[in-house]
Amino acid sequence: MLPAIQNRKSVFPQFFTDKPVDKEVISKLLEAANMAPSHKKTEPWRFQVYTGAGRAKLSQTIREVYEAARAPEVRDPKVAPKFAKKVDQAPVVITVFLHRDPDESVPEWEEVAAVACAVENLWVSLDQYNLGGYWSSPGFLCGDYGQWPGTKPNERCLGVFYLGHYEMPDLPRPRGNWEDKVSWITD
Ligand SMILES: Cc1cc2nc3c(=O)[nH]c(=O)nc-3n(C[C@H](O)[C@H](O)[C@H](O)COP(=O)(O)O)c2cc1C
């Protein structure tokens, strides 16, 4: 197996160190994401990169999106502070968007899949820079088109990718047997 695939793992913000991540490195990660495949080459992935003081804006936006998505009587007061803490712990936070092809030339699921390919490209690229990260997809963030402030009506948030240098014990990442998920048809 390729080492990048073997070494890809979810690293959660509590394990990030304060070490900053160079903008050149973030750019390389996004360049890798941009090499993802997409049907009819719609290239439907879009990203916003939050670093440094910019992260406070993200925490504020997450709070606004949460409050818009949940009526006051069902809001959990712990949610926004929980996200603000994670954002604060991560040197880099990348919000992930689906930019739906305006002509809808391919089914939506194909564009969602293409965005996931882009995120996987980024995720498998982290290890070569000794970075770790994970994709977080809380329901209230990954809702309707145009829900994220400042995005277009054909854009929809598909979650948040936190990344940074990290110190974390090597944890097992068990998987079910691949052979149980595969049928061989040979004649
Ligand atoms: C589309 C997608 C969404 C995810 N959303 C979350 C999430 O909201 N919260 C979370 O803790 N992990 C989330 N994850 C990470 C998974 O929990 C993680 O990949 C899985 O547990 C396997 O662990 P590994 O990445 O270390 O192999 C998500 C992963 C994917 C692919």
Spans in the chain with pLDDT lower than 70: none
pLDDT on residue 137: 96
What pLDDT shows up at residue 34? 98
**Is this model's pTM higher than 0.75 or not?**
yes
CA of 157 to the centre of ligand 1 (A): 16
Number of domains in the chain: 1
What is the best residue among 135, 140, 161, 171 to mutate for testing ligand 1's pocket, by most ligand atoms within 8 Å of CB? 135
pLDDT at 171: 87
pLDDT confidence of residue 31: 98
Q: Cite the beta strand spans of the chain per DSSP E.
A: 45-51, 92-99, 131-136, 155-165
Query: What is residue 13's predicted lDDT score, i.e. its pLDDT?
Result: 97
Please indicate, yes or no, if residue 187 is contained in any of the structural domains.
Answer: no
pLDDT at 86: 98
Q: Which residues span the domain enclosing 85? A: 3-181
- Report the pLDDT value the prediction gives residue 180, as an integer from 0 to 100: 98
Torsion of CA 18, 36, 142, 13, to 10 degrees: -20
Domain-embedded: residue 186: no
Pocket of ligand 1 (CB under 6 A): 9-10, 134-138, 159, 173
- State which ligand 1 atom lies nearest to the alpha carbon of 116: 1
Distance 134 CA to ligand 1 centre (A): 7
User: Are 51 and 65 a contacting pair, CB within 8 Å?
Assistant: no
From atom 9 of ligand 1, which residue's Cα is the shortest distance away?
136
C-alpha–C-alpha distance, residues 157 and 137, integer Å = 9
**CATH number of domain containing 165:** 3.40.109.10
